[in-house]
């Protein structure tokens, strides 16, 4: 089943941007139970995951503006995070899987600042860093960039308890990832040390413009999401995608004007595993899996329903996160949209298999349609549950 284009409602434009996928060199392991459910025997951890950053370049009349979407994690995380963030992270690091292996890990070989510099881009030429949200595997180290680089964040950071149940777990809480707790809402702005309990640090934004998008700035509607036209010409939008974290944003870049437009959707943590997005009514499960034992072993699954749903400690509001995913499923019906979640290691593998042509600085992702990347990665996530088949 495919939706007509007017339902997704991509605004018309002939303006495009160049999008580079940046390997942030992050290496992250986290228990699935903190992110989505139901649990599946033999698939307990999201292991060795990257956290994509994206470099967006917009050129008009010979002038190029550069924006980064997310920064992965920072190399100095052991000392660079706030005490509140470290407290939650240290607890995660003590967890073990059912086989006794560490259930959580965090590492970065390079900061995105260094990756850009090594690739021939002056980091100080970046006009803005957009955080999809303020979790430590996305915020990187903005302090490495010059004062001319602004930091752009979504709404509801301060106060940041908008829509948050008083019983939800937070990063600073010593929980096991599921169930009810009595932790206060996470605190973001102002950062540490002005607020000793903040999950952020002041050095992330001090001395630079901190632009917090207001709800009323999402004046365009795309696929049911409020959108802000960043460059003002229909080439790059920031989407209001609530649920996972305060002020969660996605990026939507028009990379070609052909066929009504080709788009890269930078999904951040709108989902953590493609099994939260697919299968869906527009991309039903392949017959070989329908005819196998797979669906009978995943509670609540169906050929036209995602295998998993947002659940667990890492979400601000799992219900809102699910509502965001339902809208994104409609966008997923368009074969000219390449949806890339921040931690999709199957997309990472596909880009790496092209001799890293898909990564900065080797090339852009603008020609993803010609390269067949959507079809190549459509069902690769099923490898994670292949043992149930």
3-state secondary structure the chain: CCCCHHHHCCCCCCCCCEEEEECCCEEEEEEHHHCEECCECCECEEEEECCCEEEEEEEECCEEEEEEECCCCCCCHHHHCCHHHHHHHHHHHCCECCCCCECCEEEECCCHHHHHHHCCCCHHHEEEEECCCCCCCCCCCHHHCCCCCEEEECCCCCCCCCCCCCCCCCCCCCCCCCCCCCCCCCECCCCECCCCCECCEHHHCCCCCEEECCHHHCCEEECCEEEEECCCCCCEEEEECCCCCCCCEEEEEEEECHHHCEEEEEEECCCCCHHHCCCECCECCCHHHHCCCCHHHCCCCECCECCCEECCCCCCCHHHHHHHHHHHHHHCCCCCEEEEECCCHHHHHHHHCCCCCCECCCCCCCCHHHHCHHHHHCCHHHHHHHHHC
Q: What is the pLDDT of residue 176?
A: 36
Using CA atoms, how far apart are residues 292 and 83, in angstroms rounded to an integer?
Answer: 48
Query: Can you name the residues that pair with 250 across neighbouring β-strands?
Result: 239
Report yes or no on whether pTM surpasses 0.85.
Answer: yes
Q: What is the pLDDT of residue 166?
A: 32
Domain ranges of the chain: 15-384
Q: What is the pLDDT of residue 118?
A: 98
CATH superfamily assigned to domain 15-384: Ribonuclease Z/Hydroxyacylglutathione hydrolase-like (3.60.15.10)
Q: What is the pLDDT of residue 237?
A: 98
Using CA atoms, how far apart are residues 23 and 358, in angstroms rounded to an integer?
Answer: 10
Query: How many other CB atoms are found less than 10 A from the CB of residue 291?
Result: 11
Backbone angles phi, psi at 275, to 5 degrees: -65, -10
Tens of pLDDT, residue by residue, the chain (389 residues) = 655 555 688 999 999 999 999 999 999 999 999 999 999 999 999 998 999 999 999 999 999 999 999 999 999 999 999 999 999 899 899 999 999 999 999 999 999 999 999 999 999 999 999 999 999 999 999 999 999 999 999 998 865 432 333 333 333 333 333 333 344 556 888 999 999 889 999 999 999 999 999 999 999 999 999 999 999 999 999 999 999 999 999 999 999 999 989 999 999 999 999 999 999 999 999 999 999 999 999 999 999 999 999 999 899 899 999 999 999 999 999 999 999 999 999 999 999 998 788 899 999 999 999 999 999 999 999 999 999 99
Using CA atoms, how far apart are residues 387 and 148, in angstroms rounded to an integer?
Answer: 50
């Amino acid at each position: 089943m495919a939706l007509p284009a007017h339902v997704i409602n991509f605004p018309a434009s002939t303006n495009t941007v160049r999008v580079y996928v940046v390997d942030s060199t992050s290496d992250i392991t986290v228990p699935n139970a903190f992110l989505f459910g139901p649990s599946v025997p033999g698939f307990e951890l999201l292991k060795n995951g990257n956290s994509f950053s994206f470099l967006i370049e917009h050129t008009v009349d010979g002038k190029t503006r550069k924006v980064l979407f997310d920064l992965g994690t920072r190399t100095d995380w052991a000392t660079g995070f706030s005490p509140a963030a470290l407290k939650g992270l240290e607890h995660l690091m003590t967890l073990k899987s059912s086989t006794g292996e560490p259930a959580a890990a965090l590492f970065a070989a390079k900061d995105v600042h260094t990756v850009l510099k090594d690739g021939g881009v002056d980091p100080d030429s970046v006009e803005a860093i957009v955080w999809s949200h303020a979790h430590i595997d996305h915020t990187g180290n903005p302090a490495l960039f010059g004062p001319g680089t602004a930091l752009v964040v979504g709404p509801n950071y301060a106060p940041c308890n908008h829509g948050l149940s008083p019983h939800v777990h937070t990063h600073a809480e010593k929980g096991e990832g599921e169930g009810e707790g009595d932790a206060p809402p996470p605190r973001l702005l102002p950062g540490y040390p002005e607020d000793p309990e903040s999950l952020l640090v002041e050095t992330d934004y001090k001395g630079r413009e901190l632009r917090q998008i207001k709800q009323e700035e999402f004046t365009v509607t795309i696929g049911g999401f409020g959108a802000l036209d960043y460059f003002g010409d229909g080439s790059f939008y920031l989407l209001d995608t609530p649920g996972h974290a305060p002020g969660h944003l996605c990026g939507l870049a028009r990379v070609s004007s052909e066929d009504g437009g080709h788009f890269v959707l930078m999904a951040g943590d709108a989902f953590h595993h493609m099994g939260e997005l697919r299968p869906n009514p527009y991309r039903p499960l392949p017959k070989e899996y329908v005819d196998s034992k797979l669906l009978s072993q995943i509670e609540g699954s169906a050929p036209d329903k995602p295998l998993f749903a947002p659940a667990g400690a890492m979400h601000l509001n799992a219900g809102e996160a699910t509502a965001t995913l339902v809208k994104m499923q409609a966008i997923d019906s368009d074969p000219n949209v390449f949806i890339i979640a921040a931690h999709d290691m199957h997309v990472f593998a596909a880009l790496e298999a092209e001799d890293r042509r898909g990564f900065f600085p080797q090339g852009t992702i603008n020609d993803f349609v010609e390269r067949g990347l959507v079809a190549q990665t459509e069902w690769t996530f099923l490898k994670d549950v292949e043992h149930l088949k």
